[in-house]
Amino acid sequence: MSTFKAPKGTYDLTPPDSAKYLAVREALAAPLKNSGYGYIETPGFEDVALFSRGVGESTDIVTKEMYTLTTKGGSQLALRPEGTASVLRAALEANLHKLGNLPVKLWYSGSYYRYERPQKGRYRHFSQVGAEAIGAEDPALDAELIILADQAYRTLGLRNFRILLNSLGDKECRPVYRDALQGFLRELDLDEETRRRIEINPLRVLDDKRSEVQKQLVGAPVLRDYLCDACKAYHEEVRDLLSAAGVAYEDDEKLVRGLDYYTRTTFEFVHDGLGSQSAVGGGGRYDGLSEMIGGPALPSVGWALGVDRTVLALEAEGVELELPATTSVFAVPLGEEARRVLFGVVTQLRRDGVAADFAYGNRGLKGAMKSANRSGARFTVVAGERDLAEGVVQLKDMESGEQTAVPLPEIAGTIRECLAR
């Protein structure tokens, strides 16, 4: 065994478990690919200022959880703690918003990094699939993204998740609410760090999970009571569109999420089978973020769904994904001539799109057949000197145990026919 281990709070994905993660990633992305979202990939690290400006100076992500580094040239960089700021930066840099087709709809998948206390469902390196719709203020976009996430989870077989929904207002009505909330919070018995947060972003105090804080928040002003008419109408339309699509949601007036850039619609997908780390994904509208990072006004909305958390949710519900066998045909050569011939057969099958593998290492029949079994292959092709002298190979059906001699020139076609049945 190596003397090195994966860093604390991280994990390696290895077969066969990695196949499940790949399937989850693909299922989360599938509805997006079908709805006009194009794939985008951004660097694993960015300028620190992108996140401190965009995500927010007062957030735990920026103050406590970001991995930062100084390059040899003196630049301050951070491993990306979330995807939205990076994707918006990349879209602005590529001038995607000037191509005349708004919104710019993008999806992405990758690893993100936060220095957190590791626990089940919360890691320092985690994987997400995300989506952003940039440059349009339309309740139908907010609803579309929530519906697509709901569809992705249901396609995987998840049932016991809930959608929490709230509106955080906009630059017109949120300041009025902020003043009222600050006035209420300043009267409470809170620690120094929380008092500092009241002055920077009081909404984050509502998100405090500590029971001694939550007890004092009873009777706090509710944002819903301060929403302007435009925000109320916008939120009602999002709710109506979700209801019309048959997507159930719960109104949650305390839902603020941990990023400063959200405006209006905010939502979270929670799964009650995951204990304290119940959020499997979430997102919202961020109409001012583009301007915060130096771009033009581009109202936008997006979400990120946790691949790790989704896998845990599937396990909590006992959902087994139907994963295709990685190998359909396994070739077992007995002797040098058979190695040469069967390697050619395997190469041809692969070119024909058939998943095929080979018994490497000159093992005997018994060891090679064990490998064939472990591979999950439906068929095994075996050939020895006598078979080749007769111009045939043996095709064994691993389910029925039935074995048939097939003329060598016909083996690829026979296998394709058998797999198609």
Residues 228, 186: Cα–Cα separation, whole Å: 25
For residue 191, what are the CA distances in angstroms to 197, 211, 218, 221, 354? 10, 13, 18, 20, 63
Top CATH class, 329-420: alpha beta
Token representation of residue 308: 């790790």
Burial of 79 (0-12, 13-18, 19+ CB in 10 A): buried
CA of residue 71 relative to chain centroid, distance: 29
Mean pLDDT computed over 142-151:
98
Mean pLDDT computed over 255-262:
71
Q: Where are the domains of the chain?
A: 17-173+227-317, 329-420
10 Å Cβ neighbour count for 87?
25
Residues 236, 239: Cα–Cα separation, whole Å: 5
Residues 66, 79: Cα–Cα separation, whole Å: 7
Task: Please state, for a pLDDT cut of 70, what percent of the chain lies above it.
Answer: 95
pLDDT at 39 over 90: yes
CA of residue 27 relative to chain centroid, distance: 10
Closest CA to 328 of 222, 245, 420, 258: 420
Token representation of residue 171: 């630059």
Residues 233, 172: Cα–Cα separation, whole Å: 14
Chain segment 159-179, per-residue pLDDT in tens: 999 999 999 988 888 888 888
Closest CA to 62 of 114, 22, 105: 114
pLDDT on residue 281:
95
Residues 226, 217: Cα–Cα separation, whole Å: 17
Residues 6 or more apart whose CB falls under 8 angstroms from that of 104 comprise 91, 96, 97, 132, 133, 134, 135
Token representation of residue 10: 């991280």
What is the SS3 string spanning the chain? CCCCCCCCCCCCCCCCHHHHHHHHHHHHHHHHHCCCCEECCCCCEEEHHHHHHHCCCCCHHHHHHCCEEECCCCCEEEECCCCHHHHHHHHHHCCHHHCCCCCEEEEEEEEEECCCCCECCECCEEEEEEEEEECCCCHHHHHHHHHHHHHHHHHHCCCCEEEEEEECCCCCCHHHHHHHHHHHHHCCCCCHHHHHHHHHCCHHHHCCCCHHHHHHCCCCCCHHHHCCHHHHHHHHHHHHHHHHCCCCCEECCCCCCCCCCCEEEEEEEEEHHHCCCCEEEEEEECCCHHHHCCCCCCCEEEEEEEHHHHHHHHHHHCCCCCCCCCCCEEEEECCHHHHHHHHHHHHHHHHCCCCEEECCCCCCHHHHHHHHHHHCCCEEEEECHHHHHCCEEEEEECCCCCEEEEEHHHHHHHHHHHHHC
pLDDT on residue 65:
83
Residues 334, 73: Cα–Cα separation, whole Å: 59
What's the pLDDT band for 350 if we cut at 50, 70, 90? very high
What's the pLDDT band for 43 if we cut at 50, 70, 90? very high
pTM: 0.88
Residue 310 near residue 271, CB atoms below 8 Å? no
pLDDT at 276 over 80: no
Chain segment 48-61, per-residue pLDDT in tens: 989 887 676 656 66
Chain segment 351-368, per-residue pLDDT in tens: 999 999 999 988 888 999
Mean pLDDT computed over 197-204:
81
What's the pLDDT band for 87 if we cut at 50, 70, 90? very high
CATH of domain 17-173+227-317: 3.30.930.10
pLDDT on residue 382:
95
The reply to whether 17-173+227-317 and 329-420 are identical in fold is no
Chain segment 129-144, per-residue pLDDT in tens: 999 999 999 999 999 9
Task: Please state, for a pLDDT cut of 90, what percent of the chain lies above it.
Answer: 64
What's the pLDDT band for 63 if we cut at 50, 70, 90? low
pLDDT at 191 over 70: yes
Residues 9, 289: Cα–Cα separation, whole Å: 30
